[in-house]
Amino acid sequence: MPDDDPRTGKVWPFLMSWTGRISALIALGASIGGGFTWLVAHHRQKVERQAQMALAQSEAAQAQYPAALKIYDDLLKSDPLDQPALDGQLDAVMLWAENFHAPDSTDAGPALDQIMAILAAGLVRAKGPRAADILAHLGWAHWLNRHIAAREFGPDAEQNLRAALAADPHNVYANAMLGNWTLQNGGGIPDAVQLFNAAVATGKARPFVRALQLAGLVGCDAPAARIAVMRAANDMRRSGEPLDPDTRRRLVTFCCDVMFNNHVELAESLTAVPPEDAWSTYLWLDGPRSDAAAVRLQYLHHAFIHAYLSEIAGNKQQALAQYRQLRLQLSAMPGSLLDAVNAAILRTSKSP
């Protein structure tokens, strides 16, 4: 075909056009392939981070706080601004502060350092109720640093707790922690009770609030402590709150055990709530016994408390009859219970 054939001039541009189109398609394919690869990698990374977050939350829920914090730390190394990881880290460390235990002060120190460092960093970012939560836990960590680690004796604990309460007067942690702190530092029962009542009224973190309330009151021998314990226990019974058997036994021993409480202390406990509530709460606290001897002794103690309630309600003759019947049952069982019965008979028989 001659070089000056007009078809030659048409073929070459046609070929070049298709070559360009093919190159563009190849480039587009490469771009799409690269984008798909990025999407797959991004999705895999997201799934892996979600799995790590779930694992960290599971560790914290099982009280494996150092393990949980290690996972959050690894996540934040790759993305220091990962908000869910930052929030999870704070939640875990606050839980750790609430449930802090250490074999001795040597072990407590480094752990509390870690807790306080994370709380202090979180406080810088937080606002509103979240800031009050963190401030309260920071104050509690300072108190633990004094109470368990014996490493500080300044005012930081109280200052942080009161600052949390000032920031949010209804904050459950600030009220409960400051209530316990008040009892452990010689504060008045009325002030502590007011703080605990405010914490209970929030309806939040109820098991934690009750644990601090009951532990603080049972360890306090000041006037009205038994009244506060019986009122708290009665409230728990009426609202169906759980209470483990060991704590129930500690409370009934502190308030209503004839072997450990004198007449004044028993009267204080059993007049804290109306008589029917006092009897129901006493039975609720003094749970069932397992062996026959314990069941028999419990029956006798219950009979004494029932008579005692009749006495303090003003039914002297009924109480006297109950005490005399109980003395007959105890005639072959000398001991503190029989002594208490004899004292009660003498007291009620002389009453007008």
User: What tens digit of pLDDT does each residue of 248-294 get?
Assistant: 999 999 999 988 888 999 999 999 999 999 999 999 999 998 899 89
Predicted pLDDT of residue 13: 56
The verdict on residue 16 lying in a domain is no
pLDDT of residue 190: 95
Residue at 90 is within a domain: yes
Residue 351 confidence (pLDDT): 56
Domain annotation covers residue 10: no
Name the stretches of the chain with pLDDT < 50.
1, 12
> What range defines the domain where residue 114 resides?
71-101+110-168
Any domain includes 224 = no
pTM: 0.83
Residue 145: inside a domain: yes
For the chain, the domain total comes to 1
Nearest-angstrom CA–CA distance, 5 and 283: 116
Residue 120 resides in a domain: yes
122, part of any domain: yes
Of 200, 259, 261, 186, the residue nearest 227 (C-alpha): 261
Residue 34, pLDDT score: 60
Predicted pLDDT of residue 7: 53
Per the domain annotation, does 352 fall within a domain? no
**What is the per-residue pLDDT for 32?**
61
pLDDT value of residue 156: 95
